[in-house]
Amino acid sequence: MSELVITPTKLWSTLLFEANFPDHEAIAPEIIQLIKQLSDNQQCDVESLVAQKAKKNLKESNFHFLENDDQYIQCLKYFLTELISTVAYEVNHLYWPEDVQVHCDIIESWYHLTSNGGFHDIHSHPNCSWCGIYFVDEGESNIENGQNRFYDPRHNADHYQDAGTAYIGANGVWDIAPRAGQIIIFPSYLKHSAMAYFGQLNRMVIAFNAQIDIE
């Protein structure tokens, strides 16, 4: 009698990348000051006018924040562009022609200034391949307060539940505690949310969407 051999195969994994902005301590105070100035002059809390009912107690800029000519913003934009290009190459180079040049275009970018009781409900980002969040100032957030939550992209995985599917429900969400200087890069199809934040200090992030071309 032959020995029973069972071999697991992992299919269709989702990659999410975490990095640190090396110049965070040097330029974050300047970026924070700029965001505060801009937010004080906003005509409405959600300048983008996008999904306003999904957002509460936060200020959101228009979608052109990283186009600001400020030298510190341009320094950040350059780093983010290089970071996304590196991530895109890491996951795609086996499917690209050899010796290609990667071009990353950050097509949308905005800040969120979240105050006490603020949140951004579950959503995903269309019209781009990669998205990112840069935590400028975590305020008083932690893994249980104002965390970013990512959701299992297998949309039909819970169509039936019993004891045999416990491993699916146990991995249904992934929470990240915001930490100043941290950057999260993730594929645009991955649904996510900013959970309710409570604190006297503002929670501040810069979010962005990118498209990738090769030459």
| Residue 132 near residue 207 (C-beta atoms within 8 A) | yes
Would you tell me the crossing angle of helices 24-40 and 71-92 to the nearest 10 degrees? 110
Q: What is the pLDDT of residues 173-209, one digit of tens each?
A: 999 999 999 999 999 999 999 999 999 999 999 999 9
Round to the nearest angstrom and report the end-to-end CA distance of the chain. 57
Q: Residue 66 and residue 127: Cα distance in Å, rounded? A: 18
- Where helices occur in the chain by DSSP H, the ranges are 24-40, 71-92, 166-169
| CA angle at 132 for the pair 128 and 203, rounded to the nearest 5° | 135
35-57 burial, b at 16+ Cβ within 10 Å, e below that, comes to beebbeeeeebbbeeeeeeebee
| Position 58 confidence tier, pLDDT thresholds 50, 70, 90 | very high
For 3-19, what is the mean pLDDT?
Answer: 93
Q: What is the pLDDT of residue 167?
A: 86
pLDDT in tens, 203-213: 999 999 999 99
- Would you state the pLDDT for residue 80? 98
Q: Which residue has the higher pLDDT, 13 or 113?
A: 113
Report all structural domains of the chain as residue ranges with CATH numbers, in order of start. 20-134+182-207 (2.60.120.620)
Mean pLDDT of 142-167: 92
Residue 207: count other Cβ atoms within 10 Å of its Cβ: 21
Mean pLDDT, residues 53-80 taken together: 97
Residue 58 parent element (H or E): strand 55-60
Q: What are phi and psi of 77, to 5 degrees?
A: -60, -40
**147 confidence band (pLDDT: 50, 70, 90):** very high
Q: What's the pLDDT score for residue 171?
A: 80
The pLDDT value recorded for residue 162 is 92
27-55: average pLDDT: 96
pLDDT band with cut points at 50, 70 and 90 for residue 156:
confident
Radius of gyration of the chain (CA): 19
